[in-house]
Amino acid sequence: MENNKSTGKQIHSNRPFLYTTGIVSRLPESLTNKDRSGKPEDDGGFNLELARRQHEKFIMTLRKLKVDLSELDADEERPFCCYLDHMAVVRDGVALIARPGGGTEEEAQVDEIRRILRDDLRQKIYEIEDADATLDGGDVLFTGEEFFVGISKRTNSQGAMALAKAFPNYSVSSIKITDQLHLKSMMSMAGPGILAIGRSKEAKSALQQILQKSNFDYCTLTLPDDEAANCVYVKGFLLHCTKQEYPESYKVFEEKFPNDVRIPIPNSELHKVDGGLTCRCILVQKPF
């Protein structure tokens, strides 16, 4: 692979994210105005019906992009059942079943995700063997070339090591975070080789760690809002924040990407209960 002579790092191959299938879930009535720690939010109240309409637009957009989705019914016993990204890390036909540090509710949901990935999507299942390991998919950023894992309240170093064992063909680097729920709460991939990142102190710290540890060169798209840096790139299209929610960040997307590849997706309500765009699904990429 070619190297950048000025940095000595490898040049990103710019391979597209060819997601072909995935898993989503409906929103339950039990999803109320609480964050994932159970504390009430003070941001104007949570509107479940609006959240469902916004989530439906997300699902319909993926289907229009020819992503074949398995859709789970809402589970009233699991208020956050719609946050599926945390349950598994899937690459190249291998599905690592995560072990989120979020309690027994999420541990129970993992069983259903495992079954779908194995039986319906024909992925090879890899389990975490270390009983002390915690790993949340929301802390796992895959760039197309390597993994970065946020060491957070929900993911520890043993979890990062388990991921490295499951995907030996990729470099895995740990990124320490303190004030965010997940690594992807403040960054994501906005395209092949393009890292979208927020502007907060925490985001800048994470970016500095990534630049120090990465094996590849990346373009950086800096956004005024950390939350807006959570976006989904699929099949050449970028699903990102709306103008109403984050006008300044929207302006950056508008300036940097053509209109025909951008799809604004509303997330105002699920954001009130700690949800980002990447949280809402597990996407399975076609192996190269």
Catalytic residues: 182, 279
Taking a C-beta distance cutoff of 8 angstroms, is the pair 263, 237 a contact? yes
The angle formed by the CA atoms of residues 250, 21 and 120, to the nearest 5 degrees, is 150
> Tell me, what amino acid is at 88?
A
Q: How far is residue 119's CA from residue 132's CA, in Å, rounded to a whole number?
A: 28
CA–CA gap between residue 149 and residue 143 (Å, rounded):
11
Tokens in use for 35? 């964050």
Which amino acid belongs to residue 140?
A: V
Task: Write out the DSSP string of 92-154.
Answer: TTEEEEPB-TT-HHHHHHHHHHHHIIIIIS-PEEE----TT--B-GGGEEE-SS-EEEEESSS
- List C-alpha distances in Å: 95 to 82, 125, 130, 239: 19, 5, 17, 24
Report the Cα–Cα distance between both ends of the chain, in Å, rounded.
16
Place of tokens 């104007």: 44
Rounded CA separation 51/57 (Å): 10
Q: In whole angstroms, what is the distance from residue 161 CA to residue 159 CA?
A: 5
Question: Whole-angstrom Cα distance, residue 39 to residue 81?
Answer: 18
